[in-house]
Structure 1
């Protein structure tokens, strides 16, 4: 895994863990936000934190979270989506 990918992974997991009020070690890639106890407000706050941390714009509509190009189905999906956005922003 490249250093950039590892850094993105660690930072995204840290953001999600903070929103879930969990230790980073409790957040696994296969987990959904629902499993982590993150509600819709926590999701929006996570998206804002991700945008700020990586200086990217996440294509996300809070009114229709299931109809987005930004996959929020699992922690791993979010990491992959952020990696893609970061790569495109360079």
Structure 2
């Protein structure tokens, strides 16, 4: 039996992530959506909340390292698009505690 290389492990990890509905691209799409949401937001308080989320995602404080279902990710992006920044913050706090 051959020793697996780093690439082999990454491929298997990627396959597992796809199986449970978490694809690498979703993480990067979330970053893009946060940035777009902050740019569109007119309310300064909401804009700051979205930017806070953007920094958290960018620093990988959550998202890639925690297991989120595809539906949870879509719900998260939907909240960003509709401007529910506080609801997103509460959701993240809940997910990090759970």
TM-score of the superposition, structure 2-length normalised? Answer: 0.32
Structure with the greater alpha carbon radius of gyration: 2
User: Which structure dedicates a bigger proportion of its chain to helix?
Assistant: 2
